[in-house]
């Protein structure tokens, strides 16, 4: 690539200033010729966008990126790389892109970090039964001093991780300093890999039956739809907690509501099916359900980490060094 090749932003105009605040944008513009006032937002049909696209060697994409299909690729004969300041590129990149030898990088690892942090925080909180205790204290306005509350605490708490995705692996890593007993269920992981991760590999049913807290991190595919259904929920011990920060479709919502209504289980849900929930969903009112509005992923100041990841990848690309986050097309089928 020549010095400061031409590049184009393809994402929502709302996303761009969060992912590329002034300092990150300045670093980006030191490497490529890019106009932050020209964005392919909603499509590539704008004449000014088409003019730049015809000469662009790099697309800087992100949330809200229009589909990069064959017509876009035909209009960008000099394109060499797509650097995605977000997670999955599965719904953005047309299969034909890989046949043209383009390099694709994604900030999925950067976006995985806040999800894993959220999950760790929730595991620690539900292990102390904080959610229930808070409501009890708010209702009663008192509590017995020096009481030792049985059944709570994080010492040797059994944690089940469903899915050794990049987020699942990051959660496992974050759990290591604590006194947890961690198991993993993933059909694509073998015993040797599980041992390297420092966890026990179990069949899903055995993991569900033997965990106090189950955290879901599998990708959303046809194969994993309702991976956690009525039969799976029934295996979970009384008083156990299900955490889902992956995709709502992995959990059968109706089956979960039925279990929560009995008071036997609790759930922490950052994602739901459908999403957003209908206003009359019982999940809003069930005391065993703690619902957050899909905020585990990058939010606020965390979004600039995605832009910074892209800038660092671009600098590697221009220096001829291997990319740290290059997307493997063969892995997309099993990705979220």
3-state secondary structure of 8: strand
How far apart CA 331 and CA 248 sit, in angstroms, is 22
* Residue 211: CA count within 13 A, CB half-sphere: 32
Cis amide bond preceding 276, omega within 30: yes
- Residues tagged active-site: 247, 275, 294
Q: Which residues pair with 216 in a beta bridge?
A: 162, 244
CA nearest neighbour of 128 among 139, 141, 137? 137
Q: Which residues pair with 266 in a beta bridge?
A: 241
CA nearest neighbour of 207 among 237, 244, 179, 180? 237
Buried b (16+ CB within 10 A) or exposed e, 256-266: beebbeeebbb
**E strands, the chain, in order:** 7-10, 58-61, 81-84, 103-106, 157-162, 180-185, 200-201, 213-216, 241-244, 266-269, 289-291
Q: Which residues pair with 157 in a beta bridge?
A: 180
CA nearest neighbour of 273 among 246, 242, 249, 238? 249
| DSSP line for 35-86 | -TT-B--S-S-SHHHHHHHTT-SEEEE-TTPPPB-HHHHHT-TT--EEEESS
How far apart CA 191 and CA 197 sit, in angstroms, is 10
């Amino acid at each position: 690539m020549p010095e400061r090749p031409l590049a184009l932003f393809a994402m929502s105009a709302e996303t761009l200033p969060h992912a590329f605040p002034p300092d990150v944008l300045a670093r980006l513009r030191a490497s490529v010729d890019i106009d932050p006032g020209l964005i392919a937002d909603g499509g590539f049909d704008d004449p000014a966008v088409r003019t730049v696209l015809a000469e662009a060697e790099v697309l800087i994409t992100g949330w809200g990126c229009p589909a990069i299909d064959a017509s876009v690729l035909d209009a960008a004969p000099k394109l060499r790389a797509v650097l995605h300041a977000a997670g999955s590129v599965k719904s953005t990149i047309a299969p034909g892109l890989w046949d043209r030898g383009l390099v694709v990088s994604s900030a999925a690892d950067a976006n995985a970090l806040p999800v894993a942090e959220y999950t760790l925080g929730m595991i620690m909180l539900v292990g102390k039964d904080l959610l229930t205790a808070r409501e009890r204290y708010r209702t009663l306005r008192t509590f017995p001093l020096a009481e030792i509350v049985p059944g709570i605490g994080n010492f040797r708490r059994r944690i089940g991780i469903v899915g050794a995705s990049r987020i699942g692996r990051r959660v496992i890593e974050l759990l290591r300093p604590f006194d947890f007993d961690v198991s993993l269920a993933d059909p694509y992981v073998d015993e040797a890999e599980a041992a390297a991760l420092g966890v026990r590999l179990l069949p899903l049913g055995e993991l569900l039956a033997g965990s106090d807290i189950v955290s879901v991190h599998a990708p959303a595919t046809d194969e994993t739809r309702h991976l956690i259904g009525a039969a799976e929920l029934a295996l979970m011990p009384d008083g156990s907690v299900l955490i889902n920060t992956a995709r709502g479709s992995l959990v059968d919502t109706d089956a979960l509501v039925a279990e929560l209504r009995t008071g036997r289980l609790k759930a922490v849900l950052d994602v739901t099916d459908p999403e957003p929930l209908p206003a009359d969903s019982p999940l809003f009112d069930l005391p065993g359900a703690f619902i957050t509005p899909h905020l585990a992923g990058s939010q606020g100041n965390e979004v600039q980490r995605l832009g910074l990841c892209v800038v660092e990848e671009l600098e590697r690309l221009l220096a001829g060094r291997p990319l740290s986050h290059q997307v493997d097309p063969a892995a997309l089928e099993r990705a979220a």
